[in-house]
Amino acid sequence: MYYLTMFWIIFGLIAGLLCITSYIPQILKGNKTKKLDDLSYHLMSFMGFGMFLWILYGIHTGSIPIIVTNVMGVSCNGLLIFMKYSYTKNNRTDR
């Protein structure tokens, strides 16, 4: 039973990490081009809030994969929002 439980924990972590890696290309492109104009604040806000709720759910159920991957997701999401705000602010002052 222990090995089956560990299998599903590892399975969940791998699934979550694969989803989180979807943020990497956007972060790298934004860092390179210094432009995130097409990134929606609304999308990122709703995604971040949804992931925060998943963290609370994971804490309630004691699910390590849900907690870990959503903390990482909120961090990536927050980084993108910060990058968009910073680059938009800097682009406006450069004109």
Q: pLDDT per residue over 53-84, tens digit each?
A: 999 999 999 999 999 999 999 999 999 999 99
Is residue 12 within 8 Å of residue 68, measured between CB atoms?
no
Q: Domain coordinates of the chain in residue numbers? A: 2-89
* Average of per-residue pLDDT values in the chain: 92
> What pLDDT score was predicted for residue 64?
93
For 54, the 3-state DSSP assignment is: helix
d(CA 36, CA 54): 26
CATH (one of 3.30.200.20, 1.20.1280.290, 1.10.150.110, 1.20.1530.20) for 2-89: 1.20.1280.290
As to burial, measured by CB atoms within 10 angstroms (0-12 exposed, 13-18 middle, 19+ buried), residue 42 is: exposed
> Which is higher by pLDDT, 93 or 69?
69
Place of tokens 């998943």: 54
